[in-house]
């Protein structure tokens, strides 16, 4: 399957809209935002700070992307994982932008919210697509095209035969969504596609895998070595 461009898909989605100040207090919303988050009432949205509606990791992402937006003075697209209070996991594509008053003072912040969950997950919330950043925008990659995934702080980098791509999702979120029959976490920083392992380097001191394509040598941590060897049939 060819990689899909997310921007073409979201043309079919009615976005939620929220306007908030620099302290994350909500000032205005539209009806679509309430449909995306049915578990949160209108009264609660206006009464709460936006950050209070998220877990700690998404809070860090929101603060960071707002900082980037202020520095760049331009819209900043990104994706974020949000766990609702009804325990229903959603993947959102957000686009933030500064809003100015008549004196060009940075008065408010705008955020368009697109629920892209139906486009990248199955009914069981398994990931059928991975959103990544490219020169052409945000694209969706098939898991079968992934060679390995590397952690980059709270984000990730996806390696494929066509190159590597930045992904806003954490390694933990990606691990939860990928098939454990095809992918395995070999290290706190790496998930590999078992079918794309070219070679296993094993000695008395360490265990590592050589991946197809760029021949990257990735370490297998001691705590995960036994499970890895069992999964590939060597123990």
Q: Please state, as a whole number, how many other Cβ atoms lie within 10 Å of the Cβ of residue 88.
A: 13
Greater model confidence, 102 or 163 = 163
* Percentage with pLDDT > 70 across the chain: 89
Q: 104-138 burial by CB neighbour count: b if 16+ within 10 A, else e?
A: eeeebbbbbbbbbeebbbeeeeebebbbbbeeeeb
Give the pLDDT band of residue 2 (cuts 50, 70, 90).
very low
Domain boundaries, the chain: 4-120, 130-231
Residue with tokens 């009806």, as numbered in its chain:
31
Give the pLDDT band of residue 167 (cuts 50, 70, 90).
very high
Greater model confidence, 92 or 150 = 150
CATH of domain 130-231: 2.40.50.1020
pLDDT higher than threshold 90 for residue 188: yes
Q: Which stretch of 87-96, 127-136, 149-158, 193-202 has the lowest confidence by average pLDDT?
A: 87-96
Note the pLDDT tens digit of each residue in 56-113: 767 877 787 777 777 765 556 677 776 654 556 788 888 888 888 777 677 788 989 9
Question: What counts of helices (H) and strands (E) characterise the chain?
Answer: 7, 16
pLDDT higher than threshold 80 for residue 224: yes
Beta bridge partners of 96: 76, 111
Q: Residue 57 has which token pair?
A: 């990791």
pLDDT higher than threshold 90 for residue 54: no
Residue with tokens 């930045």, as numbered in its chain:
166
The average pLDDT across 13-25 equals 92
Note the pLDDT tens digit of each residue in 209-221: 999 988 899 999 9
Distances (CA, A) of 37 to 9, 59, 85: 20, 17, 9
CA atoms within 13 A on the CB side of 165: 25
Order of strands across the sheet that contains 146-152: 4-5, 137-141, 130-134, 163-167, 155-160, 146-152, 190-193, 183-187
pLDDT higher than threshold 90 for residue 143: yes
Q: How far separated are the first and last CA of the chain, in Å rounded?
A: 35
Residue with tokens 């078992």, as numbered in its chain:
194
Beta bridge partners of 130: 141
Give the pLDDT band of residue 141 (cuts 50, 70, 90).
very high
pLDDT higher than threshold 70 for residue 55: yes
CATH of domain 4-120: 3.30.450.20
Gap between the Cα atoms of 148 and 160, Å rounded: 7
Beta bridge partners of 111: 18, 96
- In this prediction the pTM is 0.81
The average pLDDT across 144-169 equals 93
């Amino acid at each position: 399957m060819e990689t899909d461009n997310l921007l073409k898909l979201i043309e079919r989605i009615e976005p939620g809209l929220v306007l908030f100040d620099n302290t994350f207090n909500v000032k205005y919303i539209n009806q679509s935002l309430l449909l995306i988050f049915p578990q949160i009432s209108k009264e609660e949205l206006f009464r709460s700070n936006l950050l209070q509606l998220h877990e700690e990791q998404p809070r860090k992402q929101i603060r960071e992307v707002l900082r980037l937006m202020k520095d760049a003075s331009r819209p900043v697209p990104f994706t974020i994982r949000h766990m609702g209070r009804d325990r229903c996991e959603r993947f959102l594509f957000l686009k933030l932008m500064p809003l100015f008053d008549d004196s060009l003072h940075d008065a408010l912040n705008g955020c368009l919210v697109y629920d892209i969950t139906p486009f990248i997950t199955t009914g069981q919330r398994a990931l059928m697509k991975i959103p990544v950043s490219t020169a052409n925008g945000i694209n969706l990659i098939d898991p079968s095209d992934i060679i390995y995934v590397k952690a980059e702080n709270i984000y990730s980098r996806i390696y494929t035969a066509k190159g590597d791509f930045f992904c806003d999702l954490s390694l933990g979120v990606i691990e939860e969504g990928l098939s454990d029959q095809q992918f395995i976490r070999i290290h706190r920083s790496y998930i590999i596609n078992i079918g794309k392992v070219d070679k296993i380097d094993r000695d008395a001191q360490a265990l590592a895998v050589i991946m197809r394509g760029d021949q990257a040598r990735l370490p297998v941590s001691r705590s995960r070595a036994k499970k890895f060897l069992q999964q590939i049939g060597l123990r």
